Amino acid sequence: MISVDYLLSNPPSKKSDAERIDWLVRLVSWLRRPSSREESSIDKNRILSVRLKFLLSLLEKNPDWKKNFSASLSHFLTNLSVDSIFVSTGVSEHSSFLSELAYRIHERLLPRPPIDKDLSSFILTLFPDSNDAQLVEAIGENILEALFAVINLDQKIVIGLRNKISSACFTLSSQILERSLYLRRKMDVKNEVSYLTTEAQLQKGIHNLFQIQETISMKDLFALIVEAENFVDECELTFHKRGVQINLVYQIAIQRQLLNRLRTILSILFDRTDSHQDIQVFISQLITDVHSNHSLLDFFKMNFKLLTERIIQGNSSVGEHYVTTNWKDFRKMFFSALGGGGITSITVYLKFVFSSLKLAGFVKGVLESLNYSGSFLFLQFLGFTLATKQPSNTAPYLAAKFKTSIADSRRAMIDVLRTQFISMAGNLLLVFPICYFISFGSIYFGRSILPAEKALHIIESTDPLGPVFIFACFTGLLIFLSSLIAGWFENWTHLHQIAERFRKNPTFNRLLGEKYSLKISNLLESSSNVLAANISLGFILGLLPHFLNFLGIPLEVRHVTLSMGSFASALPVVLSQGIELNLLLRSFFAIFFVGFLNIGVSFLLALFLAAISSGLKKKLFWHLTLISLWYVLTHPWMLLVPQRDEGILPQKGL
């Protein structure tokens, strides 16, 4: 590693910009990186502060070094494209979500532009870690003032920089106005005339300030920026009513960046008391923005946050109906789950019928999808319950409770676990005897529904020594994906007003009549989430495994209720043919682990997503989860007995 003495004693050539940039990169690299193993364990903020102090002391002791240092930085700032660094660096400039996505993908695949040609590449080279923004923020005020005193820019350079920054302010205000008018048009905002909008007043105020030299209160300008940010907040609130559109979310995110950037550079220009700190804040924000502008993960977080929240909220409202809190709800859920088990037994035998047709590939997948989807819809409209469909809905409900209070959170966790246990028990208690006795009856009358080879394969496919648990986790993932599709579809129907289109479409009304058109539109309006969840889950379970097998990926579906029905149907056949008892017992008990994995995987994925979208702290999330699970393990009867009072859960440790 090159020493700072060497860098200061060998300043870059006055004629070479490339040398100046390389010199500055090496100097900043020395400031931020530890030089020994001992320093690597020290806080980075402390290393930077100590080295800056050391650098300043060297410059004070060596006037020639100080002069060269100041001249190099002055020349760099003079030739810096200030318009670019204040307006576009770190801010997305593309017109749409898709064009920005394409840009970020090819930026990840291609090498960076040369640092002497691209400001973003230069900043990423100086500060390769996004956490470097915290290093800049941690520089003390005394060190900062001493550093600016050493640089000591010439007055002509200061005036030139101020003029360029003033131009950047006007450019930013124009971009803010343009984007605001676009948002007002797209969001159907019934507001003032375009030249009276807050953003128009902001642009006019900045124009008058810099071009006409009209005196205007900076307090008024900052108040206009706050009003413009309030309008952006109002736009986000309307998404919860009319649905989330990703491209508009992207435009809103860019508008926030522009407003924040404008506020920062106005502070640099006019805050006479803390100008050094304002520059420090700007550099810190610039580092954060540049890293965020090159990150695909940050891009998806920024643009899908609102959509995720809406999906979670929709699933949460559905999940609230699945939670039992008293004996009445307990009995209702149990009998509902019994009905779900009864319907699933029909689904199992329809699957056997389709298998007997000797179909394969896409056709078989479509028939199985229709079977599953029809069964799930039939279950839903009859008011029955399937245990594996609950976790993706109850998890968002639980995450919403986590945000209220500790007592509500603990109670909700127990309620959800109890409900899940009841549902699973009800499903399995009815699907097993129905499937068993139908199969037994067919053997008794000499018309066995299942061939012996098929029955043996069903038992062996559930053997825990095979890949059954991998298939069960895969099924849990598919259940979770169906809940995302359901939330997305609900958002899409609200965004595009699908129910209203059906209700008011003349052709649709003429073909079906106004009565049925109204029923269909009401169904879409009230049950779009439920319809999409059941249909998508059916087609995912039916088609996706066949598609993956076509690609050479041997993944199968293992759904606990369907697996129990298949096992019960195969049991009389294998018993009549003779089977190893050890294999039979292993396969039977493995089904319960399949159920645990189906529910556990989908529940944890949904709960994790809901916790992220609701901003729940990780420490509180894991604390509440673990203490609730501990309570269930120590008080297992709570899975069967609804709690009666608020103080039933332990307070210790919370």
**Burial (Cβ within 10 Å: 0-12, 13-18, ≥19) of residue 569:** buried
Per-residue model confidence (pLDDT) at position 434 = 94
Q: Are 52 and 143 in contact (CB under 8 A)?
A: yes
* Average pLDDT of the chain to the nearest whole number: 80
Out of 266-270, 353-357, 388-392, 592-596, least confident range: 388-392
CA atoms of 343 and 375, how far apart (whole Å) = 7
| pLDDT greater at residue 535 or residue 507 | 535
571-598 per-position pLDDT tens digit: 999 888 888 888 889 999 999 999 888 8
Asked if pLDDT for residue 30 goes beyond 90, the answer is: no
pTM exceeds cut of 0.85: no
Name the DSSP letter for residue 646: G
**Percent of the chain surpassing pLDDT 70:** 82
| pLDDT tens, residue by residue, 367-421 | 999 999 999 999 888 888 888 877 666 766 776 676 666 677 777 777 777 888 8
Tokens for 472, please give them: 């069960």
For the segment 284-312, the average pLDDT, to the nearest whole number, is 77
The reported pLDDT for the residue numbered 653 is 35
Residue 573 to residue 442: CA distance in whole angstroms: 10
Question: Is the backbone of residue 463 left (phi > 0), alpha (psi -120 to 50) or beta?
Answer: beta
- Output 414 or 426, whichever has higher pLDDT: 426
Kindly state the tokens that stand for 334.
């149990």
Q: What pLDDT band is residue 564 in, cutting at 50, 70 and 90?
A: very high
Query: Mind listing the pLDDT tens digit for each residue in 183-242?
Result: 888 876 655 555 568 888 888 888 877 766 556 677 888 889 999 999 888 888 887 667
Distance CA 606, CA 486 (A): 13
Mean pLDDT on 476-481: 89
Q: What is the pLDDT of residue 42?
A: 61
Q: What is the pLDDT of residue 313?
A: 63
350-387 residues labelled b (16+ CB within 10 A) or e (exposed): bbbebeeeeeeeeebbbbbbbbbbbbbbebbeeebbbb
pLDDT given for residue 338 in this prediction? 92
**Helix, coil or strand: residue 387:** helix
Token pair in block for residue 205: 């105020």
Per-residue pLDDT tens for 308-344?
766 666 655 555 566 777 778 878 888 998 998 999 9
- 340 against 278, higher pLDDT: 340
Q: Is the Cβ–Cβ distance between 345 and 565 less than 8 Å? A: yes
Amino acid 211: pLDDT: 67
Query: Which residue bears the tokens 């500055």?
Result: 24
- The DSSP line for 8-29 is HHSPPPTT-HHHHHHHHHHHHH
The pLDDT assigned to 189 comes to: 63
Please say if the pLDDT value at position 439 is more than 70: yes
Is the Cβ–Cβ distance between 183 and 255 less than 8 Å? yes
Q: Report the C-alpha gap between 125 and 112 in whole angstroms.
A: 10
| pLDDT at res. 386 | 86
Residue 490 tokens read as 């609900």
Lowest mean pLDDT among 9-13, 263-267, 383-387: 9-13
Q: Which helix (H) or strand (E) holds 356?
A: helix 327-356
Maximum C-alpha span of the chain: 107
Q: How confident is the model at residue 359 (pLDDT cuts 50, 70, 90)?
A: confident
Is the confidence at residue 55, as pLDDT, over 80? Answer: yes
Lowest mean pLDDT among 31-35, 177-181, 569-573, 606-610: 31-35
Query: Using the 8-state DSSP alphabet, how is residue 90 labeled?
Result: T
- DSSP secondary structure string for all residues of 233-292: HHHHHHHHHH---HHHHHHHHHHHHHHHHHHHHHHHHH-SSSHHHHHHHHHHHHHHHHHH
Q: What's the chain's Rg over C-alpha atoms?
A: 33
480-528 confidence digits (pLDDT tens): 888 888 888 888 887 778 888 888 888 888 888 878 888 888 888 878 8
Cα–Cα distance measured from residue 556 to residue 564, given in angstroms and rounded to the nearest whole number: 16
Burial 507-518 (b: 16+ CB within 10 A, else e): ebbeeeeeeebe
Percent of the chain, pLDDT > 90? 13
| CA–CA distance, 349 with 558 (Å, rounded to integer) | 16
620 vs 299, higher pLDDT:
299
CB 487 within 8 A of CB 315: yes
Q: How far is CA 454 from CA 439, 451, 461, in A?
A: 13, 5, 10
Tens of pLDDT along 60-73? 888 888 888 888 87
Q: What is the DSSP string of 506-543?
A: HHHHHHH-HHHHHHHHHHHHHHHHHHHHHHHHHHHHHH
